[in-house]
Structure 1
Amino acid sequence: MTGSCNDLNVLAKSPLFDEVTTGRAPHIQFQVNNKIHNLGYYLADGIYSARWATFVKSIPKTTRPKDLKFSQAQEGYRMDVERCFGILQSRFSIVRGAARGWDREDLQYIMLTCIILHNMIIEDERPDDSDEDLESDEEEENNMKPRLTTVWEGPTGVDFDPVGRDGYHFNGFMDRYFTIRCANSHSNLQEDLIDHLWNIQGDMEI
């Protein structure tokens, strides 16, 4: 097992994008730098050499100022996500344990239960807010205040196309598979995010 369970091999076997390739994931569309993108993405570090449309990585050895600004923002947001998961790991030992021995459905229930318990703890520890406090929070967001975690439980009332072995559905599966792994989409999204962040910074300075 040593040397074979690196991030790239785990990613190749991961069911992370199964719902996207089978067409069961929620439809996502957003606009960055006046361009439309139709796939959600994860913030990833440089260890993932794959240039997928679903990954946005920082830029090593940056030379342009706007690349440096983007890398700093990407790494900062990625650390925020890692800290959120670190809270669950520090609070619940079951989240720190190995996941290989659990079924996928059991892991889903474990994580959902830990998130619910985390929210209950936050609600119990949070002081009672008066109406004035709530109004002030709406006017000025307090980033230091713990936030409740939300869980997407899937769409309601939506019928998905069956995923079968026939040519019609298989072709759709392969189209989505190659869309995820499109290096051009990866580069275009990253460049749009870089320009968007740089333009926002320029507007704020003005």
Structure 2
Amino acid sequence: MNGVYYEYKYYLVDDIYPDWAALVHSFTCPTDDKRKYYKKKQELARKDIERAFGVLKKRWSIVRHPDRIQQMDKLRNVMYTCIMLRNMILEDSSRAICQDEYNDAPEPITALNEDEKFANLLRTRRKETNFILQSDLVEHIWRNKQHNDGDDDNNN
């Protein structure tokens, strides 16, 4: 992002979450056009994600009650399975949003030793990375504004 390599994926979150490296907040009171535009785009993306999880919760009760699954790798597999099933249902009914084909095999899960777990914990909780990532996202989204929105968004 913006020429910076980020080791971890990031998640769009609201203000109840801490300022960790992989958790990206919106701005409460954006002060300039770049931040206002970023806030708008981030809120639209979060709304789409929340709507998608709402659909999954309605269809599969296991998504409504994830606390029934005690192991994280099993929870991850259940979520992926529900998402894939939902996509298959949409494809079969010709309502799929994206017709792309993905041939990537999932990466195998490897166990970490205690030192590696602690190092990952420290890296994922770095506030500095959070602020740098957010700034890079603001710049990236602003730079691609015309490409994403076209000319009709100039008055906002």
Q: Same fold (TM over 0.5)?
A: yes
Larger Rg: 1
Q: Is 1:85 paired with 2:53? A: yes
Task: Give unmatched runs, 5+ long, in structure 1.
Answer: 1-31, 127-143
SS in 1 for 2:144: helix
TM-score (norm 2): 0.75
- After TM superposition, the runs of 4+ consecutive aligned structure 1 residues lying more than 6 A away are none
**Quick one: higher RCO (CA 8 Å, sep 6+), 1 or 2?**
2
Shift of 1:112: 4.3
Identity value in percent: 31
1:155 aligns with 107
Paired AA for residue 190 in structure 1: Q
Shift of 1:58: 0.4
Rounded Cα–Cα distance in structure 2 between residues aligned with 1:112 and 1:100: 16
Q: Is 1:101 paired with 2:53? A: no
Rounded Cα–Cα distance in structure 2 between residues aligned with 1:34 and 1:173: 27
Rounded Cα–Cα distance in structure 2 between residues aligned with 1:112 and 1:199: 32
Paired AA for residue 137 in structure 2: L
Q: Between Structure 1 and Structure 2, which shows a larger proportion of helix residues?
A: 2
TM-score (norm 1): 0.59
Rounded Cα–Cα distance in structure 1 between residues aligned with 2:6 and 2:81: 33
Q: How many residue pairs align between the two structures?
A: 147
1:46 aligns with 15
Matches within 5 A, 1:87-166: 87-96=55-64, 98-104=65-71, 107-108=75-76, 110-126=78-94, 145-147=96-98, 154-155=106-107, 163-165=112-114
